[in-house]
A and B are shown apart, each in its own frame.
Chain A
Amino acid sequence: MKRRSFLQVLGTGSAGIAAFSCSDRQQARQIEANQDTLAVDWKKAPCRYCGTGCGVEVGLKDGRIMAVRGDEASPVNRGMLCVKGYHLPAMLYGEDRLRYPMLRNDDGRGFSRISWDEALDLIASKYQEALDQTGPESVAFYGSGQWGVHDGYAVTKWFRGGLRSNNVEPNARLCMASAVMGFMTQFQSDEPMGCYEDFEAGDDFILWGNNMAEMHPVLFSRILANKREKPGVRIVDIGTRRTPTTDYADMYVQFTPNSDLALANGILHLLVKQGNVDTAFIRENVVFRRGIEDLNRIGYGCFGPDGLGTDHSAGSAERYGFSDQGRESSFAELERFLEEYTPARVSEISGVTEQQIHALAEMYGDPGRGTVSLWCMGVNQHVRGTWINNLITDLHLITGKISRPGANPFSLTGQPSACGTAREVGTLSNRLPADYVVNNPEHRAKAEGIWGLPEGTIPARPGYHTMDMFRAFMRGDIKVMWVQTTNPWQSIPNLHRIDRNPDDGTFLIVSDIYPTASTEVADLVLPSAGWVEREGVFGNSERRTQHWEKMVDPPGEAMEDAYQVIQVAKRMGMGNLFPWPEDDWHEPMYEEYRQFGLGGGKDLASYQQIKATRGMMWPVVNGQETRYRYAAGHDPYVQKSRGVHFYKAKGYGEKAALWLRPWHPAAESPDEEYPFWLCTGRILEHWHTGSMTRRVKQLHQAAPNAYVEINRADAAELSIKSGDMVRVVSRRGSVELPAKVDGRGKPPRGSTFIPFFDEAKLANALTLDAMDNISKEPDFKKCAVRIEQV
């Protein structure tokens, strides 16, 4: 090996002329002859994938997307992208794009093309028939955190205001619902107080069950850049397996699944014991609350007790309707509550060393350091997801490390508009836009006022949450369900519970851009316009509302999701809900929607503002965005003299609620028969069920199929080598896939991991449909499996 031997070579530089490649010369000549081939028009858009909301510039030529580049003007990513973002342009050009409406043939086999008129008429008649015969509880819409704001708004308005049904849900129930309930129970207003500038302003970054290097790579890069510039910056990776994130962590804290609840209480215990609490902040800004803690009363909401492998079957029902009841508590009660969470006991429950528990308490307790807690699916997809959201935020409330630059609890989102559409528009079954809920009469009146509907139009009872919605659909209680922009027949846990026979008397409509596991079982498949094939708005994790314009035509007859919905509403005589001109409805619809939040601290920027900028962070008042909510000098709703003011929490005297939340075990834990934990999740290259990313050459060729990560020692004991095919079996199903030992993720002994992007190797055939007691978000991260040689 000759290091830097180019210095020798440079002496012979003239030989280079002879070495000029002839294919290059040909290519250069072609370009010279037709310079126009490189004339590309660049337009701004947010990335289509995760909740980061990176800005891209889309390179357009002759009605096609030729390239993207990171938008240097975007404050989110400042020109950088991850491998998925760079390969966005190819995502829309898979050969099997859905182009025409397709109806399942009478014999149940295959589909035939029909016209849009026929398709829309059919949907309208199916919905009308169900309404007439079985009522508004028998119709449903299952959408997505990938919906643009217009799509979600059109559906929620049509369903609640037109069909008079609250059976609207987004896949964000599988993703963000626990964070929603975390923020709602503590601040009575959803979404984080901080913003991405925390990544430069913070000193200690505590990642709770969050493989940020793969899931939010561009944001992780901002932390790494901060670390390069400020050598004191620390990253702590609290996880159940080693991931690429661990390679960059200053401390790796490994805990037993579900014991993060005990760990957080252990940290609180030490903070209180050692007096590392901000007493003045607590006195002015914090109230204490305590909810129901009885495990037998709460249960896990699994489909049924059979095959669950646990005694905790209470709450197992067709409809999981557990409802928490909070009561007032106090600092004194907190002290007593925390007594039992000594380092020794927490270490016993969690497997975390006492030394590490002390180290974490020192980090959170050091008033001189900015602490940012980050989390995503590890904390949200959790049978006590709201509780662990509460506990992490409690760590910030008790130390006063909240609502200031570099010190915040920050929940990351997995979908591009989980915040913008699922949460802000309120497409969850109990919600209306801007934090309003259907079971509050004043909120319903507000919505009816904006929508110009008679009082009493919107039903007061929340609809089915996602898990119950699919159970009701399989029972036949829901007759018609329309699915847009998501793929539940791959992403719902315990998939065999929703094995669908299209002959079962119900009607399923699926709108997507590619064939998926869900279009396979649909009765009617509709082709959607994707990403920049239509105009749209996304809201990202830091409350930033971003707009993009339509840049290219969709293929065939593909049509934008919101427009499909409006056309059906019109056919059902509900066109009054969408009174705008057919060629100019995006701006007036958005401006109507914006009225919900104005003056209430959820003020979105105007359409013209988001068109002209790289997005703006709400609340936007007098044209100014807000970087830090509840903070004087940042948030226009807070008086300058006040410091921090949690003004949305009217129910708590405009203070934040610190909840006492105990540790509970997982719904299903390994035993003799099923000795391994199974965790599921994403990987860098693939996004969700892979329907888009697998159609990109570079992404597919980097990660062509799912595998099961197994610890090296476990593999040796089972005589399995990396690459061997194995069968992973749970009480609910089995899947065959190659083993991976010492791959990018390294589970500890007794743990396994399977990514869920691969439709041929369905991780969710194995997972359990246990869910959070408050948010009703299922836990994809913990169930028990065994591994067999094939």
Chain B
Amino acid sequence: MRGSNRTGLIRLALAAVALVTVGCGQRWVEVPEVDGAVKSTASVRAARRAYDGAPPTIPHDDFGAACSACHDAQGISVEGVGYAPANPHAATPEIGQTARCRQCHVFVIEDELFVASNFEGLQQDLRPGGRLNPIAPPTIPHRTLMRSNCVACHVGPGAREEIVTSHPERTRCRQCHVPVTTRATFNSSLGDGPVARDSAR
């Protein structure tokens, strides 16, 4: 690892450790069995976004490396530092070479504001997706556009506990989990019962 990368990672680690120690206001959670590593929570997630759905800002220094070097299809964890989440936008690391991550994700190099703002962003919907019964697969409660790599958030030491999958070995998530695009129920346009439907045939 190059010197500049190390400095950046150490800064990230120090910031993370400071947050872990704040008690019940805590925002980071330690990763079990990985020494000193920490993972995200919903409030960490929110702090890096203008609103739910906005691209997160980049919480570390510019290491001068390609984003996909760490944020590949599965992500990596670094002992004593933390976890580089996978790229949720694709299932392959190759996309990193011909996509431009930084058209949406920007570094934070300034703490102050230019002018104070009255903007209040939309919060994340932390309700779970619907299930038909307790053992049925939950539906996907969020948009899946550019979030097709489920592993990025639902597998791995960085994943928030409440959304970690119990079965990462099953790689085709969408055969059981489907995205909910409407909360309204289906109303048949064919009439109210089997008779009407039969006659429509």
Q: Which residues of A contact B (CB under 8 A)?
A: 1-6, 8-10, 12-13, 15-17, 19-24, 27-28, 31-32, 35, 37-38, 40, 59, 61, 64, 66-70, 72, 79-83, 86-87, 89-90, 92-96, 213-214, 217-218, 220-221, 224-225, 227-228, 244, 248, 514, 684-685, 694-704
Contact = CB atoms under 8 A, between A and B. Distances in A.
B43 A24 contact: yes
Contact of B24 (A23, A72, A227): A23
Contacts of A699: 106
Interface string B89-124: 000001100111011111111111111111111110
Nearest to B56: A698
Contacts of B158: 6
14 contacts: A6-B77, A8-B33, A15-B33, A16-B164, A23-B42, A24-B162, A31-B125, A59-B51, A90-B119, A94-B116, A213-B103, A248-B98, A694-B114, A698-B50
Given A67-B51, A82-B103, 18 more contacts: A2-B77, A5-B34, A9-B33, A13-B166, A16-B164, A19-B32, A22-B24, A28-B127, A32-B127, A67-B54, A67-B122, A68-B53, A86-B50, A89-B50, A90-B121, A244-B100, A700-B113, A704-B110
Contacts of B122: 38, 40, 59, 61, 66-67
A92 B32 CA distance: 43
Contacts of A93: 117-119
Given A6-B77, A9-B32, A24-B126, A695 B117 contact: yes
Contacts of B55: 83, 86
A697 B195 CA distance: 60
B127 A31 contact: yes
B41 interface: yes
A6 B75 contact: yes
Nearest to B45: A24
B109 A704 contact: yes
A23 B78 CA distance: 25
Given A16-B161, A83-B105, A704-B110, A694 B115 contact: yes
B59 to A, nearest CB: 12
A481 B166 CA distance: 67
Complex A-B, nearest 6 residue pairs according to Cβ-Cβ distance, in ascending order: A702-B106, A6-B156, A16-B161, A217-B103, A93-B119, A21-B41
Interface size class of B (residues with CB under 8 A): 35 or more
Nearest to B118: A93
B103 to A, nearest CB: 4
Contacts of A21: 26-27, 29, 41-43, 160-161
A674 B125 CA distance: 58
A67 B110 contact: no
A702 B121 contact: no
Nearest to B106: A702
A70 B76 CA distance: 29
Given A67-B121, A95-B117, A224-B99, A697 B50 contact: yes
Contacts of B26: 21-23
B168 interface: yes
Contact of A79 (B24, B74, B146): B146
A20 B162 contact: yes
A87 B42 contact: no
Nearest to A35: B127
A77 B39 CA distance: 33
Given A12-B33, A31-B125, A221-B99, A23 B114 contact: no
Contacts of B107: 702
Contacts of B33: 8-9, 12, 15
A72 B99 CA distance: 19
Contacts of A96: 115
Contacts of B32: 9, 12, 15-16, 19
B30 interface: yes
A80 to B, nearest CB: 7
Given A1-B1, A217-B100, A10 B168 contact: yes
A704 B105 CA distance: 16
A2 B79 contact: yes
A80 B101 CA distance: 12
B186 to A, nearest CB: 20
B140 to A, nearest CB: 15
B13 interface: no
B144 to A, nearest CB: 10
- Chain A CB within 10 Å, residue with most, of B54, B57, B143: B54
A90 B57 contact: no
B31 interface: yes
B75 A95 contact: no
B106 A67 contact: no
A248 B102 CA distance: 13
A220 B104 CA distance: 13
Contact of A23 (B41, B109, B110, B146): B41
B43 A67 contact: no
A702 B113 CA distance: 11
B54 A87 contact: yes
Given A5-B34, A19-B32, A66-B51, A90 B117 contact: yes
B156 A9 contact: yes
B155 interface: yes
A554 to B, nearest CB: 13
A200 to B, nearest CB: 14
A69 B74 CA distance: 26
A27 B25 contact: no
Nearest to B155: A6
A31 B114 contact: no
B164 to A, nearest CB: 6
Contacts of A24: 41-43, 126, 160, 162
Contacts of A83: 55, 103-106
Contacts of A67: 51-54, 121-122
Contacts of A224: 98-100
B145 interface: yes
Contacts of A703: 106, 109
Most buried by B among A10, A40, A704: A10
Nearest to B103: A217
Contacts of B42: 21, 23-24, 27-28
Nearest to A68: B53
Interface in B12-38: 24-27, 29-34
Contacts of A12: 32-33
Contacts of B127: 28, 31-32, 35
Contacts of B98: 224-225, 227-228, 248
Contacts of B114: 694-695, 700, 704
Contact of B115 (A22, A69, A695): A695
A244 B123 CA distance: 33
A90 B160 CA distance: 27
A28 B161 CA distance: 14
Contacts of B108: 698, 701-702
B157 interface: yes
A28 B156 contact: no
Contacts of A227: 98
Contacts of B157: 5-6, 9
Contact of A27 (B31, B83, B102, B123): B123
Nearest to A37: B123
A79 B162 CA distance: 28
Contacts of B78: 1-2
Given A21-B27, A82-B104, A217-B103, A4 B74 contact: yes
